[in-house]
Structure 1
Amino acid sequence: MIGAEIKRLRLLRNLSLSELASRATVAKSYLSSIERGLQQNPSLDVLTKLASELNVHVSHFLTDADEEEVLDAGWLQLAKEAMDSGVTKDQFKDFIAYQRWRQRENQ
């Protein structure tokens, strides 16, 4: 979903893959893998760079097309702080799984 939207916006702005990659300081091969859906979880840093070059807010890429729900600024800031502090996606997923387990145990 993210990759398709990045490609749609890139083409809408008449930018080549190379041009957008260069402007956003992202490797062309990485951008290509995002657009083709091979890389489905680009970092917030990469999304921020691409959003800036495509003239959209980074939250534009975090919209669920089915529910039209956008992560609010607090969640985006929390995700950025987690990323900046070195928390990996796997560690964050483990934390969520632990919280769900705790909730089940307390019922």
Structure 2
Amino acid sequence: MIGVKLKYLRIQKGYSITQLAKKAQISKSYLSYLEKNPETNPSLHIISKIAAALDTSPNYFIDQEQEEGKEEINQEWMDLLKNGLEEGITKEDFEEFQKYLAFIKYKKSH
């Protein structure tokens, strides 16, 4: 299911296949192959390059627990996102909120 997660996150981040391939320093054709063949298991090295380019952990692609309840969570998140957009929240507002949450998590752990 790596290909499905890869495509989902690539689209969420707003990258084309070409842009992500360049950022991850892998071939565009291989990236496209991974997305179209979700049962393919690339090497950890490739997963790490893609994860870094998408600002996530390699565990995002490997962790099977994320598969459980995925549709339910996605619909819930999509509803939240839709409501936020309707209320005028911008991409920049959301990014700032993410930074704030990361700061709060950091403060709690230190």
TM-score > 0.5 by shorter chain: yes
- Alignment TM-score, normalising by the size of structure 2: 0.57
State percent identity of aligned pairs. Answer: 36
Tell me the distance in 1 between the aligned counterparts of 2:55 and 2:26: 16
- Alignment TM-score, normalising by the size of structure 1: 0.59
Tell me the distance in 2 between the aligned counterparts of 1:56 and 1:41: 18
The Cα RMSD (Å) is: 1.9
Quote the residue 1:60 is aligned against.
60
Tell me the distance in 2 between the aligned counterparts of 1:46 and 1:29: 14
Q: Tell me, what secondary structure is at the counterpart of 2:23?
A: helix
Dislocated runs of 4+, deviation >2 Å: none
Higher helix share: 2
Aligned residues: 68
Tell me the distance in 1 between the aligned counterparts of 2:38 and 2:60: 20
Higher relative contact order (CA 8 A, sep 6+): 2
How far residue 60 of structure 1 moved from its aligned partner, in angstroms, is 0.9
Tell me the distance in 1 between the aligned counterparts of 2:28 and 2:36: 12
5+ residue gaps, structure 1: 68-107
